[in-house]
């Protein structure tokens, strides 16, 4: 076709592979990498063998759980992971403390690290509380390494569980732990848009 290049290998036309967009409910204890030098289980052990190669969009550390996006569309992934896009990410966090108004206000004000780095949250609220611990919801619009854990550590508070429940307007919902599904075309499209007016997700439950 005029104006379009055709790639051939050994006389056969090579066609572009299908773009794949997945969400995975990552369990705790699984690492977000293709291979691990310590031979720990990776997120790839949870995927079907006949899937095209996909890469994680961002990361969840070994101890964290919840929504992980995976794709073979590198441009789409780069935009979602770009901190300049300000795409919000919501987490349910179980902490070893009762989350009263004073603690919530400290979290809202943020934490300045020893080297001057400022760690902030976009929003924080209580999901539910017990006598000794609480579930809080934290929304971030920046992606600094271990950000929530470092904030809690600055206040001497233990993080018992950390579950990502949403990225932008795409929610983990009732997807079972360790399971994956393809994103809908609507979910793929909405993540292509800048998340300039996303609100806190409160419908998902840890």
Q: Delimit the domains of the chain by residue range.
A: 18-85+173-192, 89-166
Cβ(87)–Cβ(192) below 8 Å? no
Closest by CA position to 88, among listed 124, 133, 139, 52: 139
What confidence tier does 16 reach under pLDDT thresholds 50, 70, 90?
low
Cβ(65)–Cβ(30) below 8 Å? no
Q: Which tens digit of pLDDT belongs to each residue from 62-105? A: 999 999 999 999 999 998 887 777 789 999 999 999 999 999 99
Can 61 be counted among the known catalytic residues?
yes
Q: Which tens digit of pLDDT belongs to each residue from 18-49? A: 899 999 999 999 999 877 777 888 999 999 99
* Distance in angstroms (rounded) separating the CA atoms of residues 144 and 150: 10
Cβ(43)–Cβ(56) below 8 Å? yes
- CATH number attached to the domain at 89-166: 3.30.70.1560
What is the residue-wise DSSP string for 154-194?
A: HTT--EEEEEEEEETTEE-TTPPTT-EEEPPHHHHHHHHS-
Q: Which tens digit of pLDDT belongs to each residue from 113-130? A: 888 889 999 999 999 999
Please provide residue 134's backbone torsions phi and psi, each rounded to the nearest 5 degrees: -145, 155
Q: Which tens digit of pLDDT belongs to each residue from 177-192? A: 999 999 999 999 998 8
Set 61, 82, 174, 195: catalytic member: 61
Q: Which CATH class is domain 18-85+173-192?
A: alpha beta
Q: What is the pLDDT of residue 86?
A: 73
Closest by CA position to 69, among listed 199, 206, 181, 205: 181
pTM of the model: 0.84
18-85+173-192 and 89-166 share one CATH topology?
yes
Q: Which tens digit of pLDDT belongs to each residue from 148-177? A: 999 999 999 999 999 999 999 999 999 999
């Amino acid at each position: 076709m005029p104006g379009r290049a055709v790639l051939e290998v050994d006389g056969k036309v090579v066609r572009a592979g299908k773009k794949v967009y997945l969400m995975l409910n990552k369990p705790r204890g699984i690492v977000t990498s293709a291979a691990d030098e310590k031979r720990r289980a990776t997120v790839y052990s949870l995927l079907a063998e006949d899937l095209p190669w996909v890469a994680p969009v961002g990361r969840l550390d070994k101890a964290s759980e919840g929504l992980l996006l995976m794709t073979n569309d590198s441009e789409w992934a780069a935009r979602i992971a770009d901190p300049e896009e300000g795409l919000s990410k919501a987490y349910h966090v179980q902490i070893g403390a009762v989350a009263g108004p004073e603690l919530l206000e400290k979290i809202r004000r943020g934490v300045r690290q020893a080297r001057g780095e400022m760690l902030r949250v976009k929003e924080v609220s209580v999901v539910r509380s017990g006598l000794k611990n609480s579930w809080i919801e934290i929304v971030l619009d920046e992606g600094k390494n271990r950000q929530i854990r470092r904030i809690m550590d600055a206040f001497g508070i233990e993080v018992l569980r950390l579950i990502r429940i949403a990225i932008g307007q795409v929610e983990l919902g009732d997807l079972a732990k360790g399971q994956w599904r393809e994103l809908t075309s609507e979910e793929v499209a909405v993540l292509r848009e800048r998340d300039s007016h996303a609100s806190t997700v409160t419908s998902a439950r840890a």
